[in-house]
Amino acid sequence: MNELLKLSALEIAAKVAAKEVTPTEVLEAHIARIEEVNPQLNAMVEKDFVRARKLAAEQTEILSKNHSPLPPLFGVPFTVKEMFAYQGMKRTGGSVHHKNDVMDWDATIVARLKHAGAIPMGSTNVPELGFWFETYNKVYGLTNNPYSLERTPGGSSGGEGALIGAGASPIGVGSDIGGSIRMPATFCGIFGHKPSQYLLPFTGHFPYSKEEVKTILVGDKYPYTTLGPMSRKAGDLYKMMEIMMGPDGYDQTTLAGAKLKERPKDWSKVKVVLCADPVFHTARQTDYELVQVVKNCGKLFEELGAEVIELDPRFFVRSTELWFAALKKTKNKNFFEVLKGKEEKFSVGKELFKLAFGKGRYIFPNLIVSLAEILEGSSKDSPKKLAEELQALQKMHDDLSKILGPNGILILPPHPRVAPKHREPLWSPFDFIFTGIFTTLGMPATSIPMGLNEEGIPLGVQVVANSMNDHLTLGCAELLEQTFGGWVPPKE
């Protein structure tokens, strides 16, 4: 593998600034890698190589004449989850009803990365409507894991995870409501960060326009979906966060004036809470190898002099029902209404029948969710029950916040198993709750690779902190990368 494909974004930017390599050389190395691996992965679904090459050439020309400071990501290629507005490119969300939608504007975080000198190379695959942890849709097809083609890269940022994991992109942007950044990051052996709620503007995410973000997504209707960075090297996450965070004039909920604190230098002063084998109602029990990597982290922090304690493994037992309750509170429209688009005669039963004969237009999990939603709508679930669940979610937040305190981190598995084989998630659909619960709690959470298992499949941990303590989880990612090795490129 070309050595440029093993560098962080910040290392690439430093080499470009020092004129050791040109933006064109960096871009061509990554394009060559994309062309090599994408036929097997189907991770990049919309290529933007013509414009990327033009921009890289312009930057190379600037570099030959310029002696002033350059933007922080000058000459660094990146990729974009297909659910983001990306000027001149499609934003289908994996939906057949949006397969021809081409955007004439950039999502705020995409625009900010471009302004920082980064060069977009194209967009990457997602599940239909971003709703499932298999990256598959009827527009672009199935995406495979770079460490084993028979396994899923996760979802919904699965295309990003697969491409970055393959060494074909140094950084990318994803979004996360049930673990859609952290699961693909874990399954594909890279780093992914779900920020504290309200740090990054939602503007540009499927299916909303700028005006809808400004007028509809306010108050209780603001989504739990959180945008965030993905990378093959830990140190890039912090810089990407600095570049992407802050209000944009459209998203009325994004926090103004928020800044990342400095990453810890003395880990003996950090409180470390372990939950190596958590119990989640409806989810599988954690596999032994993932329990062990959490315990390995605990041993490291003990050696560094930190206070290390255990969390009750049943602390999160009600998480699944509480996650769904939180989503009910923010729901703007029914899921099946989004799924069917403007189609008048939509029948879940007929679509399931067509799917059985290979003629369906929607993926099976989304039809099942739609059916459940329709049936639920006819039931008499009381507002009192929803209020109780939301109260229980708030208590979970408050209790965990108190345990962590101002300088604590929680380390636990990001999933009960390594990347499953294709279609296996259908038999354990609620395993996403290992990551999903922290989105509805609003807390920052970072997925960190911890090497490969005996089959060559990535292992990982998830690190969580109190809201606005992103610096702790990001700093921990850098420490664990230094100690355990971080991203390991797939075998050629």
The Cα 277–Cα 311 span in angstroms is: 10
Alpha-carbon gap, residue 88 to 120, rounded angstroms: 12
Evaluate the CA torsion angle 44, 175, 145, 411 in order and state its sign.
positive
Can you give the pLDDT at residue 381?
58
pLDDT for 120 = 98
At 353 the pLDDT is 75
CB-CB contact of 161 with 126 (8 Å): no
HEC string of 407-442 equals HEEEEECCCCCCCCECCHHHHCCCCCHHHHHHHHCC
Give the model's pLDDT for residue 371. 72
- In this prediction, residue 345 carries a pLDDT of 77
> Residue 24 and residue 32: Cα distance in Å, rounded?
12
Gyration radius from the chain CA atoms: 21
Q: What is the pLDDT along the chain (492 residues), one digit of tens a residue?
A: 899 999 999 999 999 999 999 999 999 999 999 999 999 999 999 999 999 999 999 999 999 887 788 999 999 999 999 999 999 999 999 999 999 999 999 999 999 999 999 999 999 999 999 988 899 999 999 999 999 999 999 999 999 999 999 999 999 999 999 999 999 999 999 999 999 999 999 999 999 999 999 999 999 999 999 999 999 999 999 999 999 999 999 999 999 999 999 999 999 999 999 999 999 999 999 999 999 999 999 999 999 999 999 999 999 999 999 999 998 888 766 776 778 787 777 787 888 778 777 878 888 877 877 776 666 665 555 688 889 999 999 999 999 999 999 999 999 999 999 999 999 999 999 999 999 999 999 999 999 999 999 999 999 999 999 999 999 999 999 999 999 999 999 997
The full set of domains in the chain, from first to last, is 3-316+398-484 (3.90.1300.10), 331-386 (no CATH)
Determine the length of the chain: 492
Q: What kind and span of H or E run contains 9? A: helix 9-17
Catalytic residues: 81, 156, 180
CB 153 within 8 A of CB 184: yes
Helices (H) and strands (E) in the chain, counts: 16, 13
* Token pair of 110 as six digits: 């995409």
3-state secondary structure of 275: coil
Cα dihedral 22/25/28/33 (nearest 10): -120
Q: Which of 71, 237, 261, 242 is nearest to 170 (CA)?
A: 237
Q: How far apart are CA 386 and CA 435, in angstroms?
A: 22
Q: What is the pLDDT of residue 333?
A: 67
Count CB-CB contacts under 10 A for residue 4: 20
| Residue 94, C-beta contacts closer than 8 angstroms, at least 6 positions apart | 82, 83, 125, 126, 127, 128, 129, 130, 137, 138, 139, 140
For residue 340, the model assigns a pLDDT of: 78
The residues that bridge with 49 in the sheet, in sequence order, are: none
Report pLDDT for 31.
98
Contact 458, 232 (CB under 8 A): no
Contacting residues for 211 by C-beta, under 8 A, at least 6 apart: none
Beta-strand ranges (E) seen in 304-457 are 307-310, 408-412, 445-452
